Amino acid sequence: MKLVDTHAHIDQISNLERVLINSKNVGVESIIAMSINGKSMKETLNIGKKYPNFIYPTFGIHPTEWLSENLTETFLWMKENLHNCIAIGEIGLDYWGKFSKKKDLQEKQREIYTFQLKLAEENDLPVSIHSRGAWNDALKIALKTGIKKAVFHWFTGSIDLAKEIINNGYYISCTPALEYSKELRDVILNIPLDRILIETDSPVYIRSLNRASDPSDVLITAKLLQAIKDNPLEEVITITRKNAYDLFGITK
């Protein structure tokens, strides 16, 4: 079994070494390691250097993580270090949380998101997009910037939008939340396996398991996806692995 966790926050995981050994034992072959701000990019990069061909760092400023950031400095650092990452992420928009209800903060989010999409497009890098509560704008802006390679991570928007996403050549990823999230299940039910990636968003708390997740839980995502799609588990894992490596430009 060769699993790819396409979205994990490894800089936030405790007992990382033990977690990574366990993940390898479960069959995890690669982890796409997201960052959320300047500090997280540097930490993720350092961890990635310790685990080449296993942990693949990405650089990005998350839509709710920029208030205390020196954006000029961080964007400059990103540009200078782009050769060390395989994608731009986690970037996007979040109109869901308390933080994001103010119109001026939403405007700033769109500005930061657009800047990072352009940076990715200019450097031919894929992006991992967070779109909670802002599904429409997140897609609209991605299309406007002309970005070609993108995954809408843990997408819980409408089925119509999900179809628009895949018709534009983008992917959608799912997490262990497939167990309880009707929105995520509905999206995944209505799109083909060749547009789907699997992930954990670890260490996010998994409601159905009553604990924090880690990359080994990508096997749970695969099994939940298998139950929805009714393909054999091996096939689900093989197809989603190919999708992940196609998107992130990894050859193995």
Whose tokens are 């779109």? That residue is 131
Q: What is the DSSP letter of 55?
A: E
The answer to whether residue 5 forms part of the interface with Zn ion (CB under 5 A) is: no
Give the list of residues 6+ apart from residue 18 with CB closer than 8 angstroms, or none: none
Output 201 or 214, the one with its CB closest to Zn ion: 201
Helix (H) or strand (E) holding 105: helix 103-122
The answer to whether residue 11 forms part of the interface with Zn ion (CB under 5 A) is: no
Q: List binders of Zn ion among 25-54 (CB under 5 A).
A: none
Binding segment (CB under 5 A) for Zn ion, from list 17-25, 82-90, 161-169, 211-219: 82-90
CA distance 111 to 107: 6
Output 161 or 177, the one with its CB closest to Zn ion: 177
Output 201 or 217, the one with its CB closest to Zn ion: 201
Binding segment (CB under 5 A) for Zn ion, from list 81-89, 104-112, 196-204, 211-219: 196-204
Q: Which two tokens stand for residue 69?
A: 């950031």
Other CB atoms closer than 10 Å to residue 202's CB: what's the count?
27
CB of 9 to Zn ion, least distance (A): 6
The contact mask relative to Zn ion for 200-229 (x = CB under 5 A, - = no) is -x----------------------------
**Nearest-CA neighbor of 132 among 168, 160, 96?**
96
CA distance 126 to 58: 10
The answer to whether residue 94 forms part of the interface with Zn ion (CB under 5 A) is: no
Interface with Zn ion (CB under 5 A): 90, 201
